Structure 1
Amino acid sequence: MKIELSGKNALVTGASAGIGLAIASGLAQAGARVILVGRDPARLEQAVARIRQASGHHDASGVVADPGTAEGCRAVIAAYPEVDILVNNLGIYGERPFFDIDDTAWEEIFQVNVMSGVRLARHYARGMQERGWGRIQFISSESALNIPAEMVHYGVSKAALQGVSRGLAKVLAGSGVTVNTILPGPTRTEGALAMMADLAARRGVSVEEMESLFLKEHRPSTLLRRFATPEEVAHLCVYAASPQASATTGAALRVEGGIVESIA
């Protein structure tokens, strides 16, 4: 199968590093003109340069904005009013005891993880619908199905994305626009590695040992038995963005290493 996305504009949020950067790179290598959204100008510039070098395409670009705010979403939309592929990857997470998650933390994670995607999809889906083709993805998590006790607010925000995605897929039924969620499991992103390093320091073990301990203690049902790479997640996202995935919509596509205890 050869995925060809030449002539398509793809916008990826949270694209300066990790899964977002891997998705943007994969889309660019398939021929799409990618637009990376990030908050740090220097990191974003480096990410755009990496994609141009890896893909051989020099039309990759970046938008410095924070889609976790309404103002940031407006800035993204003003810079690029129309896209064919929207990947809502922006997200934050972090361990916090439930009784320490105050209203401010709940509001922050909802604005960043949920409303960023809602605002952008609300705008871009209309143009896709009018043109009769489009791909919208919400990067969720296996934590949407297995709410983690160590970060309940994160799991709840990802579960909300499942509802938004399924509902929007119904709104766009028959339009040629597909809407799906992607459910990664533990992935070797910079953020995850930093969290593992912090936990490893507390317990006096190496980062590699901490990854194994984390899976054993918090994700014991894993069948992969290791952290995935961002590229492994991105492969599924690139397929879901392709013309070949035209019959896949309203779905929760899992790339979580078999953690979820379900055959459905």
Structure 2
Amino acid sequence: MNIDLSGKTALVTGSTAGIGHAIAKGLAGSGANVVINGRGQDKVDAAVRKLEGTGAKVRGIAADVSTAAGCKALIAALPEVDILVNNTGVYEAKDFFDIPDEEWSRYFDVNVMSGVRLSRAYMKGMLKRNWGRIVFISSESGLNIPVEMIHYGMTKTAQLSVARGLAQLTRGTGVTVNSVLPGPTMSEGVETFVKGLAKQNGQSVDEAAANFVRQHRPSSLIQRFASVDEIANMVVYVASREASATNGAALRAEGGIVNTIA
């Protein structure tokens, strides 16, 4: 399959590193004009330079999409997109009884409202042009709510609901809205976390990673962390013309952790 996104403009939020940056790289590699987004200008500029070195068509816009003002600024700088990947997100392991109200609100603003605001802004243009792709980067934690970060799981479930509801609005058009559900993925942040576990327990990084999966995600069929590129591959396909019959779906790229057949 030759995925060609030439002439399409793609915005990937939270794409200065990790899964978001891998998605941006994958979309650019398929010919899309990619817009990198993050909160800080320095990190955005560094991420753009990294992709420019591959010959990609890429630009950057620094904006905090967890706020209404940040989304407004981003939309003003980029009035239309063909592909919107709502990837921005935060997570932290924290005991339920220690999570204050403000943190529940912050997680909802960052993980959910960023995608709501940007989809509201860009989807009308997609429907008018009769082509577009919106992808929410959810998580297997939206189905298997992790007891160590219930607030995070709540937001990932909410993303699935928003994406499915928006897909209902695309009936009979060339626009699709889908969710992708990664499992444990070896992004830069997770790699730092695993290295900390390795040092704490006197293990190699590989041993610490394998032990984490066995202990915390025992139902995993691949029994390892996914790479950021493996998640990006799913997103690039969903964003393509070839995925035109995939709409309103929650597509799992979580290594078989979710123990259901549907």
Instruction: Give the TM-score normalised by structure 2.
Output: 0.97
2:6 aligned partner, one-letter code: S
Structure 1 residue 158: Cα displacement: 0.2
Structure 1 residue 210: Cα displacement: 1.9
Partners in 1 of 2:146 and 2:29 — Cα distance? Answer: 35
Equivalent in the alignment of 1:50: 50
Partners in 1 of 2:92 and 2:28 — Cα distance? Answer: 30
Partners in 2 of 1:182 and 1:88 — Cα distance? Answer: 10
C-alpha offsets along residues 39-72 of structure 1, whole Å, 9 cap, x if unaligned?
1222211211121222x23x31000111011111
Partners in 1 of 2:211 and 2:75 — Cα distance? Answer: 42
SS of the counterpart of 1:149?
coil
Q: Is 1:252–2:250 an aligned residue pair?
A: yes
Equivalent in the alignment of 1:10: 10
Equivalent in the alignment of 1:67: 65
Partners in 1 of 2:171 and 2:128 — Cα distance? Answer: 13
Structure 1 residue 95: Cα displacement: 0.4
Partners in 2 of 1:96 and 1:210 — Cα distance? Answer: 20
Partners in 2 of 1:148 and 1:196 — Cα distance? Answer: 18
SS of the counterpart of 1:121?
helix
SS of the counterpart of 1:261?
coil
Structure 1 residue 108: Cα displacement: 0.7
SS of the counterpart of 1:92?
coil
1:32 aligned partner, one-letter code: A
Structure 1 residue 15: Cα displacement: 0.3
SS of the counterpart of 2:190?
helix
Equivalent in the alignment of 1:169: 167
Partners in 1 of 2:198 and 2:98 — Cα distance? Answer: 22
Structure 1 residue 207: Cα displacement: 2.9
Equivalent in the alignment of 1:37: 37
Equivalent in the alignment of 2:101: 103
SS of the counterpart of 2:149?
helix
Equivalent in the alignment of 1:113: 111
Partners in 2 of 1:203 and 1:246 — Cα distance? Answer: 47
Equivalent in the alignment of 2:147: 149
* Structure 2: segments with no counterpart, 5+ residues: none
2:148 aligned partner, one-letter code: E
1:183 aligned partner, one-letter code: L
1:233 aligned partner, one-letter code: I
2:138 aligned partner, one-letter code: S
Partners in 1 of 2:95 and 2:211 — Cα distance? Answer: 19
Aligned pair partner of 2:224 in 226, 248, 253: 226
Equivalent in the alignment of 2:123: 125
Structure 1 residue 209: Cα displacement: 2.1
Partners in 2 of 1:225 and 1:41 — Cα distance? Answer: 37
* Structure 1: segments with no counterpart, 5+ residues: none
